[in-house]
Amino acid sequence: MVTMQDPKTFMRAKRTLAIALPAILIGCGGGDDDAMTTYVPPPEVDAATVPDGMTPMDTMTPTPDVAVSDTTASDAAAPDTAVTDTGPEPPRPELIPTTRDALYAWLKAGNYKSWSHESAPHASAGPHGAPVLVYVNDALMDSLAAGSAQHPAGAAAVKELLSGGAVDGWAVSVKVEPSSDGGMGWYWFEIYSSTNPADALAGRGLGGCTSCHVAGKDYVRTTYPLK
Ligand code: HEC
């Protein structure tokens, strides 16, 4: 449980506010009086309510793996309390939404960018278009390093699908329960060349994904160590 006594978390909260304020001020010029008068910044930032998905990336620090956020509410509502005791270090943005629209927004915000990742884009051996760049969260990294036959709930991978050097979509896999359950234990998501999340393939155990990923180690095809 993160508390206000945690100086780093407090700093993080302050930074978040500092980032948020200019955006609020920009809103002043819009003539939307209603929006301006109804927004009252809290006198004190309650670090416990600062959503992980909204915070800037912090340094890479090994933290315990965390539960998957599979609420239907937005990722921003994921409470810090879902994070296992992280001690004084701020939690990394490991909480990954497993609902279509929330996940799309989370990806677009680049929340996975602080994860371990391959050193350079490479051509995909799968049907994902080329080139691709795979990011892996701590839960999956640790499990791959340990050579586990089953990855834990919370393990996740994000594959950037690139086009002309720019990110043009993502393929995502998230373990949502300890058992792989024939692929049903994994949540799958893919969107490419579209900014409309309604175009994404998303869901648990998608046959179009599991049929090929079953050949991997607990449905993970990327080799460890990451290239
Ligand atoms: C024809 C085989 C095939 C299919 C179908 C497939 N993949 Fe993959 N996928 C791969 C391979 C191979 C890799 C390893 C990296 C690479 O070469 O692209 C991979 C890598 C990934 C990764 C990075 C983590 C890992 O397992 O290596 C994610 C995430 C991913 N795929 C998601 C998906 C999703 C979501 C779908 C369904 C919409 C899907 N894949 C369908 C072959 C496939």
The pLDDT tens digits of the residues spanning 1-57 come to 444 444 444 444 444 444 444 444 443 333 344 434 444 444 444 444 434 433 333
Output the six-digit token pair for 13.
């909260």
d(CA 28, CA 33): 8
Looking at residue 84, what is its pLDDT? Answer: 53
Ligand 1 probe mutation, 115, 188, 194, 213, most atoms within 8 A of CB:
213
Q: Is the pLDDT of residue 223 over 50?
A: yes
What is the atom index within ligand 1 of the atom nearest the CA of 170?
A: 29
- At 149, which amino acid appears? A
Looking at residue 148, what is its pLDDT? Answer: 96
Looking at residue 12, what is its pLDDT? Answer: 44
Q: Is the CB of 52 under 6 A from ligand 1?
A: no
Looking at residue 95, what is its pLDDT? Answer: 82
Backbone angles phi, psi at 98, to 5 degrees: -125, 40
Q: Which residues of 29-45 are buried (b: 16+ CB within 10 A; e: fewer)?
A: eeeeeeeeeeeeeeeeb
**Where is pLDDT greater, at 58 or 211?**
211
d(CA 119, CA 28): 42
List C-alpha distances in Å: 187 to 3, 72, 124, 155: 32, 14, 20, 11
The pLDDT tens digits of the residues spanning 75-122 come to 444 444 444 555 555 445 578 999 999 999 999 999 999 999 999 999
Q: Are 103 and 172 contacting, i.e. CB atoms less than 8 angstroms apart?
A: yes
Give 113's contacts (C-beta < 8 A, 6+ positions apart): 57, 135
Least confident of 7-16, 128-137, 161-170, 185-194: 7-16
Confidence of residue 68 (pLDDT cuts 50, 70, 90): low
Q: Is the CB of 143 under 6 A from ligand 1?
A: no
Q: Is the pLDDT of residue 224 over 70?
A: yes
d(CA 221, CA 189): 15
Q: Is 34 left (phi over 0), alpha (psi -120 to 50) or beta?
A: alpha
Looking at residue 129, what is its pLDDT? Answer: 65
The pLDDT tens digits of the residues spanning 174-220 come to 999 999 999 999 999 999 999 999 999 999 999 999 999 999 999 99
d(CA 96, CA 78): 9
How many Cα atoms within 13 Å fall on the side-chain side of residue 180? 16
Which of 63, 50, 115 lies closest to 91 in space, CA to CA?
63
Looking at residue 57, what is its pLDDT? Answer: 39
d(CA 73, CA 36): 25
Average pLDDT over residues 117-138: 89
**Where is pLDDT greater, at 158 or 65?**
158
Ligand 1 midpoint to CA 160 (Å): 11
3-state DSSP call for residue 8? helix
